[in-house]
Amino acid sequence: MTLAGVLLAGAAQAGISLDLPSAGNYTNSTTVSTAVVDASGATFDIVYTVTADDLHGSTPTDWLQVSVNSMGVNDGTIYGTYNEWMSFTSLSIENFNAGGSGLAADDIAELTFSAITLTSVGHSNDGMDLFFSGDKSGTANNVNLSGYVANTIQTIDISGFGSGTALSIEADTYQDTNKFGVGGLEVSYAVIPEPAALGMIMVSGAGMLFVRRWFML
């Protein structure tokens, strides 16, 4: 269960780690849910689905990575040689309970993937193509990973590329030295109270007009 504090307009909040999938094969997809308790009293689940490509199985390994098997040998990475890729889709908020917050489920808006944590990056050919879709359709946003120190963990801000509730990633070349793991996903959302909820919040002294949360998946 994740605890989230109330965030007033203009304030910053550190990322909160959400659950990664348990070990298993994800060619048929699996859904991951994390319970969130907000300091306002609202509770809800942040839910997403993870899917590997149809050629290789996917499993978390060391470093809590979500990664793809390479020809049956798990080295903890998405491997460019075999055109491996994976997707994170159906990002949503479920099981909302207002508690004493005065909020409604519809007050939570603009849910989007905003950052991705990659592991074992920094090799000479490392690079990622990222799509705000679950099937690699649309614009490919390229991220060069070769400039980092080899075998390091890096969190990449992807908010400048776009937004959406679906994300797919792949190695940007077919070279065997182009490989990296996935160590986490970050999402953001806004709390924008409707007039009725806003009145309740103002009376309670919260005074929130616009609230933004950041989470690490």
pLDDT of residue 9: 35
SS3 call for 40: coil
Distance CA(50)–CA(69), nearest Å, equals: 15
Query: pLDDT tens digits for 142-176?
Result: 999 999 998 888 999 999 999 999 999 999 998 87
Q: Quick one: pLDDT band at residue 186, thresholds 50, 70, 90?
A: confident
Confidence of residue 8 (pLDDT cuts 50, 70, 90): very low
In angstroms, the CA 92 to CA 40 distance is 20
What is the residue-averaged pLDDT of the chain? 76
- The H-or-E segment that residue 214 falls in is strand 211-216
pLDDT over 60 (residue 50): yes
Rounded Cα gap, residues 209 and 200, in angstroms: 12
Which residue ranges make up each domain of the chain?
2-216
Query: What is the separation, in whole angstroms, between the first and last Cα of the chain?
Result: 13
For the record, the structure tokens of 21 come out as 């999938």
Annotate 171-182 with DSSP letters as a single string: ESS--TT-EEEE
Among the residue ranges 29-43, 67-81, 193-207, the one predicted with the least confidence is 193-207
Residue 64 reports pLDDT greater than 70: no
Structure confidence by residue, pLDDT tens digits, 78-91: 878 777 888 999 99
